[in-house]
Amino acid sequence: MILYINCCVRAESRTDRLARAVLQKLGGDYTELKLYKEKLSPLDSKTLNKRTELIEQGDYSDRMFDPAKQFANADTIVIAAPYWDLSFPAPLKTYIENIYVTGIVSAYDENGLPVGLCKTNELYYVTTAGGPYDPTYSYGYIESLAKNFFGIPVTHLIKAEMLDIAGNDPEALLNSEINNLL
Ligand SMILES: Cc1cc2nc3c(=O)[nH]c(=O)nc-3n(C[C@H](O)[C@H](O)[C@H](O)COP(=O)(O)O)c2cc1C
């Protein structure tokens, strides 16, 4: 199963267009999770306490764990998020808080080191940027989580950048990246 995690808010989102090209190249059906429709909440004291208690009991039956199970069971993951403030929009961070559940996506071995539990083989991070793209706080962060904690061995960055620079032709830049994929 391909899981498409869509964190694009604008109706005419260029990041979403680039991600659809990635999905087309991957072929097959995909399940789309629209983060702006899902309205997941950041962990607060109530949900964090509840979650900690359930994890301690080894009880993962609560619906609060459904997003983590869906993430861990995907064969391929495509995340689309525009480059915002050197990073990505807040709903993606909220999503990560919700899916990063010890015992579902990750565990600790006898030496206290993280071991990934995800079945996922590949993760694609798709983004577009108005200026030059620095991956440190977006793709770099997701890549580190995927490889070091979730057990996802291969990650890819797909990007189009410099789209909002005066004098640039954003359509041509975006289409060139799309054509490179297809
Ligand atoms: C709230 C916000 C923050 C942004 N921050 C940055 C930024 O830090 N660096 C940059 O190069 N572009 C930035 N941009 C421009 C977007 O990255 C660019 O327009 C992108 O293509 C938007 O993607 P979309 O078409 O999928 O919405 C920002 C745009 C918005 C709306």
124-158 pLDDT per residue, tens: 999 999 999 999 999 999 999 999 999 999 999 99
The half-sphere exposure of 143 on its side-chain side, counting CA atoms within 13 A, is 13
Overall number of domains in the chain: 1
Q: What is the CATH number of the domain that holds 31?
A: 3.40.50.360
Q: Cα of 28 to ligand 1 centre, how many Å?
A: 30
- What's the confidence (pLDDT) of residue 55? 97
- Which residue, judged by its Cα, is nearest atom 30 of ligand 1? 84
Per-residue pLDDT of the chain (182 residues; tens, 9 = 90+): 999 999 999 999 999 999 999 999 999 799 999 999 998 999 999 999 999 999 999 999 999 999 999 999 999 999 999 999 999 999 999 999 999 999 999 999 999 999 999 999 999 999 999 999 999 999 999 999 999 999 999 999 999 999 999 999 999 999 999 999 98
Query: 135 lies in a domain?
Result: yes
- Which residue, judged by its Cα, is nearest atom 6 of ligand 1? 84
Q: 96: domain range? A: 2-42+63-181
Backbone angles phi, psi at 150, to 5 degrees: -95, -15
Q: 0.75 cut: is pTM over it? A: yes
CB of 130 shorter than 6 A to ligand 1? yes
Query: 71 lies in a domain?
Result: yes
Going by C-alpha positions, the residue among 7, 2, 1, 3 that lies closest to residue 128 is: 7
- Which residue, judged by its Cα, is nearest atom 5 of ligand 1? 84
Going by C-alpha positions, the residue among 78, 68, 59, 118 that lies closest to residue 98 is: 68
Could you tell me if 80 and 7 are in contact, meaning their C-beta atoms sit under 8 angstroms apart? yes
Query: 50 lies in a domain?
Result: no
Q: For the chain, give the percent of residues with pLDDT over 90.
A: 98
Report the distance separating Cα 77 and Cα 6, nearest Å: 11
Query: 147 lies in a domain?
Result: yes
Measured CA angle at 40 (ends 144, 66), to 5 deg: 75
- Which residue, judged by its Cα, is nearest atom 3 of ligand 1? 84
